[in-house]
Structure 1
């Protein structure tokens, strides 16, 4: 099991807790909106309470009022800091209190209310307890409660009405209440589901991103150690094995290399450093390696991961060293002067480092596969990071340009789940269709039944059709905000309905639901606010308010009477607007929290994996190379056997870098023995860290061929994933032959 796999479970527990916190955050905002809405509806119901409560029963009625509005107000006040179990308990209490308040009305009130004031205060806030129940109960329970309180609301209205056909009035009230609270309960259930879905998808993304970050970190540590081996250890061992450097210089190189190995055990650098640190380090490195090289940097102080800075500096240093070694040399001409430049800049958020020279250049096809400078120390080093890349461009006679780049990665938080509030309508589609049908049916009943039916039937019919068309139009599009054409069409239809009804009824009409159009228009405006057209919705309501008051005054009613007709509908629009604002803000916050937690968890897991991998790699390096490096550091003269051992260790380390999946027993021992017999052994791995699941046939075949070779050359190569064959073995000994290893172990 990999280090990444071992570390994942430790993170999963915290991920579950984070998901709960995200959903709970949304619930708290709903409680806050309920508290604010309760203040508004409580204020609106205060006057009806004082007018409708008989003197003897006033203490009991006042206690019901205080409980009915005090509980949600307390929820709002406590929403941001109280334990959620307390808030849930208050929500349950509010649901029960509302039912008890209705029961109190039915049990202790036996008189009718006067005409024009026959809407009991107790049914003016039905949506608040229904939403409270929807925040703590399952959807079925919430919808059951909606049906219950809608029926009770109609019963109380019929019980208290002084008009004729009180049963019809009660039925109308039940239908209208059902329509109104279905909108809020449907939104509550949908947003809770969206939040849960987003959190669950974010959990999966977080685990996948963390696993990916762990693999990248693991690869980075391997490449860091591989680069050290290539840049220092192999060089020292080759110099020792070939006897090309005097013992004093060799000893100094060995001590320096041991120091670099020890340095890898130092604590990891800070997570983030200013980008200007990269410019400063590259300026110093350039001055040390290649004095006279043109240098330019325009990096600012924005944060960059310290590991990325290290990788860019090391890769740029390798590019400079390659330029110094090869740019001025040609097999058929003497060395010539070479101009070099290093440029560091920020390209729209991407950190770019370019190392150029105008030297002799090279053809990439001519670079042997076993050369590691470009492949490992430059390209692989940068590709180990998400957003990292390296490109080497060169042509014979045209110089060389190495471009290193790193672009910050912003992980997704929520995957394909709907992370925005606009996704609510796609999830609510079945409920929206039911509510639209209910809207049309309810307002048809309100408009065309009972003694208040219009004398100018065609005008009321046209107004009804206009409002119904507006309701359908503003729910058709699946995108938010609602497209401009549909928004303007909705507003025009509502304005037409309002004007038609001004000619149809009078403000003095006291029949139940005579002014049904005011509530219908407000409900459609509420949908506009939900569809991202909040300013237009409130502007239209302002126009409706002003027109209604003017209509009342023109028809001989005081301005206060006009205000009374329309002001109670403001509570519906206000509550909906606050609710939508809270939900949108919560969704945006939830998405950002998911992103932050994904980055945090990935960083923690990557750090743990990096430490484990670094220790494993250094332990291997210490076992293979440290004893010989320490002997070289002591400056003792080397015998022929010592030199041969240095070359053997160098070859073994090269195998570990170039052919990681083959660096296992029995291949290691077979390769060492073959080299001791004079066989030229080359082991390569082209599987790109995706070796075959079962390497046993490959390792057995490679070890067998190495054991059988007495001279010549053996080249074993693990092939890229997806091939029919797993590996090829090329043997140049007494005769040339190619062995192909398949998944079933067959040799061809």
Structure 2
């Protein structure tokens, strides 16, 4: 099942070397039978042209590739099949099963699994119609008429079934592979999360434990302590919500501003979480917010498809400054 894709199946399996070899082998065996049965001797020139045309049609049907035949190629397959059918009619004495008609029917019917639905449908209709038009004036019995068209009708049914079944198999295989890929990605993400959890918990522990120990030792919970707790809480919140913005220098600058009393808010998009902030961008952001001593600073990470990767809005009593940078740290907007 490893090659069961739209490319691996080679246009219904008919664009492969194995298919060409198999069809040419059948053509050679059938040509030998025509000679053995004495049909070739009845009209040597007609049968020579018909056999060569059938061989050309076989090669066209099994043209190597993973796509349907081009219209310029596909149209010649029914033409070769109808030429072969005409030779069969010229050599036939009664309405019955004709091996040449059967081979011609296979050629046009298997255009359907090849992907040339219109050429296969029209060619099969013309071939069966020609057989009926040849047989009907002779007043055949129902049994004889059935023997004449049974194989051509069966070829059409086989071609349609081949295409339908292969389409279903390929569709299910693709769905299975997509599901397996999603499962593998989920497992990898879970494993990565489990691997990162101890490190992340240790980092959070390093922030929380000192404050809790001071409280446990009896430090007074005054304004200073409440400010310390707020800074630690905000840092933990940032680590959880925006892990990709945890550049050491930027984190330290945000903490410094918060201790000064500046309200710093970090916003982000989950789609950016797998792409850590680049050092140059972190430095640009840190330099922009460093002069702020009061007011509010909002740092926002934008989704990956946006031109701007990071933006900052600095609001003070006197002004509002907005800056946006690309992922590489280049300024793309400022006001």
Task: Report the TM-score, using the length of structure 2 for normalisation.
Answer: 0.58
SS of the aligned residue for 2:75 comes to: helix
Answer whether contact 2:50 2:87 (CA < 8 A) is retained: yes
CA distance 1:527–1:586, shift in 2 (3 Å): same
Match in the other structure for 1:635: 221
SS of the aligned residue for 1:476 comes to: coil
Match in the other structure for 2:166: 583
What does residue range 340-355 of structure 1 map to in structure 2 within 5 Å? none
What does residue range 458-607 of structure 1 map to in structure 2 within 5 Å? 458-508=45-95, 515-558=98-141, 560-607=143-190
Answer whether contact 2:102 2:152 (CA < 8 A) is retained: yes
Answer whether contact 2:85 2:100 (CA < 8 A) is retained: yes
CA distance 1:587–1:432, shift in 2 (3 Å): same
What does residue range 685-704 of structure 1 map to in structure 2 within 5 Å? none
Answer whether contact 2:7 2:66 (CA < 8 A) is retained: no
Return the offset for 1:625.
2.0
Q: Distance in 2 between matches of 1:590 and 1:526?
A: 26
Task: Number of aligned residue pairs: give it.
Answer: 230
Return the offset for 1:596.
2.3
Q: Are 1:196 and 2:13 counterparts? A: no
RMSD: 3.5
Return the offset for 1:582.
0.7
CA distance 1:424–1:498, shift in 2 (3 Å): closer
The gaps in structure 2 that reach 5 residues or longer are 233-238, 240-245, 250-275, 278-335
SS of the aligned residue for 2:11 comes to: helix
CA shift digits 1:187-225 (9 cap, x unpaired): xxxxxxxx2345xxxxxxxxxxxxxxxxxxxxxxxxxxx
Q: Distance in 1 between matches of 2:101 and 2:220?
A: 96
CA distance 1:556–1:456, shift in 2 (3 Å): farther
CA shift digits 1:331-379 (9 cap, x unpaired): xxxxxxxxxxxxxxxxxxxxxxxxxxxxxxxxxxxxxxxxxxxxxxxxx
CA distance 1:582–1:458, shift in 2 (3 Å): same
Q: Are 1:438 and 2:25 counterparts? A: yes
Q: Distance in 1 between matches of 2:140 and 2:132?
A: 9
SS of the aligned residue for 2:115 comes to: coil
Match in the other structure for 1:174: none
CA distance 1:197–1:467, shift in 2 (3 Å): closer
Match in the other structure for 1:626: 208
CA distance 1:532–1:557, shift in 2 (3 Å): same
Return the offset for 1:461.
2.0
CA distance 1:462–1:562, shift in 2 (3 Å): farther
Return the offset for 1:636.
5.5
Match in the other structure for 1:424: 13
Q: Distance in 2 between matches of 1:539 and 1:421?
A: 23
CA distance 1:581–1:470, shift in 2 (3 Å): same
Q: Distance in 2 between matches of 1:576 and 1:445?
A: 25
What does residue range 607-626 of structure 1 map to in structure 2 within 5 Å? 607-622=190-205, 624-626=206-208
CA distance 1:455–1:596, shift in 2 (3 Å): same
Answer whether contact 1:550 1:559 (CA < 8 A) is retained: no
Answer whether contact 1:421 1:584 (CA < 8 A) is retained: no
Return the offset for 1:483.
1.2
**1 or 2 for the larger relative contact order (CA 8 Å, sep ≥6)?**
1
Answer whether contact 2:113 2:162 (CA < 8 A) is retained: no
CA distance 1:535–1:419, shift in 2 (3 Å): same
Q: Distance in 2 between matches of 1:535 and 1:637?
A: 82
Q: Distance in 1 between matches of 2:64 and 2:166?
A: 20
Q: Distance in 1 between matches of 2:185 and 2:61?
A: 42
Return the offset for 1:423.
7.4
Q: Distance in 1 between matches of 2:78 and 2:39?
A: 27
Q: Distance in 2 between matches of 1:499 and 1:447?
A: 14
Answer whether contact 2:135 2:145 (CA < 8 A) is retained: yes
Answer whether contact 2:54 2:104 (CA < 8 A) is retained: yes
Q: Distance in 2 between matches of 1:615 and 1:420?
A: 47
Q: Distance in 2 between matches of 1:493 and 1:443?
A: 15
Return the offset for 1:521.
0.7
CA distance 1:481–1:609, shift in 2 (3 Å): same
What does residue range 29-428 of structure 1 map to in structure 2 within 5 Å? 195-197=1-3, 418=7, 422=11, 424-425=13-14, 428=16
Q: Distance in 2 between matches of 1:560 and 1:546?
A: 17
CA distance 1:610–1:479, shift in 2 (3 Å): same
Q: Distance in 1 between matches of 2:132 and 2:70?
A: 31
Q: Distance in 1 between matches of 2:12 and 2:248?
A: 50
Answer whether contact 1:526 1:573 (CA < 8 A) is retained: yes
Return the offset for 1:587.
0.6
Answer whether contact 1:477 1:483 (CA < 8 A) is retained: no
Q: Distance in 1 between matches of 2:80 and 2:12?
A: 26
Q: Distance in 1 between matches of 2:127 and 2:223?
A: 101
Q: Distance in 2 between matches of 1:506 and 1:593?
A: 55
Q: Distance in 1 between matches of 2:187 and 2:211?
A: 34
CA distance 1:516–1:617, shift in 2 (3 Å): same
